[in-house]
Copies of this chain bind each other. A is one copy, B any other.
Amino acid sequence: MCAIVGIYGSENAAKNAYYALFSMQHRGQESSGISTADGTKIHLVKKRGLVTDIFDEDAFNQLKGNCAIGHNRYSTAGSDSLFDAQPVFARYKLGEISVAHNGNLVNKNEVRNRLIEQGAIFQTGMDTENIVHLIAKSQKDKLIDRIKDMITKIEGAYCLVIQSRSKMFVIRDRFGIRPLSLGRLKDGGWIVASETCALDLIGATFIRDVRPGEMLIFEKNNKEPISEQLFEPDFHPCAFEYIYFARPDSIIDGTNVYESRLAMGKTLAKEQPCDVDLVLPVPDSGVAAAKGFAEGLGVPFEMAIVRNHYVGRTFIEPMQAIRDLKVKLKLSPISSLIKGKRIAIVDDSLVRGTTSKQIVKMLKDAGAGEVHMRIAAPEIKYPCRYGIDTPTQKELISYNKTPNEIAKIIGADSLGFLSIDGLINSLGNQRKYSLVSFDGRYFAGGSVSSPECNDLDL
């Protein structure tokens, strides 16, 4: 996931970036950062934690300048969080540069190994560092040409904001896998952000989505950003943005997220109906789909599971009673609604199945007569390399199990998934979505290898 933002030409650049990141906190909670450029210098604040905990008055005193780029980082296993925050700042031949990146480079390791071969050092585990290296290694005189050089060497999903001391460059890969929108601030400045909810919060006007393969160049003397089409678009937006990444009030590439989820629920009702008394969502992620599902079935919808939002940083190890059913710390069933009823419980996706198993048990403990689980997405059978922190293939419960087998494992009376066609129909337009998690078909190329030096005696 991750979120990026770029602000150009605003007196409140850092604060606009801050509020934009705040509104996109759902895309990454591990760390956040903002760098600003004041024409002669780049300033950077980045840290582990939530946006509202990281940036204080001290931070804004540092973050001078009317261009700001920012990033929310999603927690990924095995990362050194201290060092793996973005933006990545560096001094290089043309001065100073700062880069924020949302996506995943499928040829990350090849690029890194080639750079390492040439003597580069890597101080983080992020592919953003690859990008900075490629820009620095380019022999071109001007930053824009170095960026174009760089872009020919990376493959995969990326939305990039690149900041020099006086300019800002924004690029969306030719597949348009990750979303990126352009808007105009009330003070005349510009914003690009991963989701339109960021524009809404700061009162910016949505202009248009950045086009797949497009680069936008923001410079001091241009009233409007210059657009340059770097690649022929080959649009494959990620279906997961609609399924669960994006906030329901965002509009991605013209498609409303909430309405997509409603539609997926309705389609699911057609494909995987069940004879139940009540439809419940897994809150908050499954609410829209569950509503659509209930409407599709013509069965009552109830918010019969309550979510506790006071979940703090560290929990004291609970007694056995809770340890067995940790999901109860977050979710509580309203037993009176459930008791004796046949229930359909709708979630947005099914990955490992561990939480679903606990939810089914919780509902049965609350007296549900039957529990039918419905997933408003197809079976996830393949790990995705375009930016989602999915587990290895073996951990994916749908990898080698049928819905019926899984239903038994999680204790549900039945289990149904949305079909891939159903998903596409629900999204309601003729796009070729990136569906790699479902069909395993990568289209953006790249093979992965990790020939790091393991000869410990050198």
Contact = CB atoms under 8 A, between A and B. Distances in A.
Interface of A: 12, 15-16, 18-19, 22-23, 25-26, 29, 39-40, 44, 50-53, 55-57, 60, 80, 88-95, 97, 116-117, 119-123, 132-133, 136-138, 141-143, 164-166, 186-187, 197, 200-203, 247-249, 251, 256, 258-259, 287-288, 291, 301-304, 306, 308-316, 318-319, 321-322, 325, 328-329, 332-337, 452-458
A121 to B, nearest CB: 4
B122 A93 contact: no
A456 B165 contact: yes
Contact of A321 (B202, B287, B310, B458): B202
B310 A52 contact: yes
Contact of A316 (B57, B95, B301, B319): B57
A116 B93 contact: yes
Count this chain's copies in the assembly: 4
Given A25-B310, A136-B120, A332 B57 contact: no
Contacts of A186: 321
A310 B12 contact: no
Query: 7 closest pairs, A vs B, by CB?
Result: A52-B312, A203-B321, A119-B137, A90-B121, A25-B310, A256-B336, A95-B453
A89 B203 contact: no
Contacts of A203: 321-322, 325
Contacts of A313: 52-53
8 contacts: A18-B316, A22-B310, A93-B116, A120-B120, A121-B132, A142-B458, A249-B306, A251-B336
Nearest to A37: B456
Contact of A166 (B166, B287, B452, B456): B456
B141 A121 contact: no
B322 A23 contact: no
B121 A202 contact: no
Contact of A202 (B258, B306, B319): B319
B332 A247 contact: yes
Contacts of A90: 121-123
Contacts of A88: 123
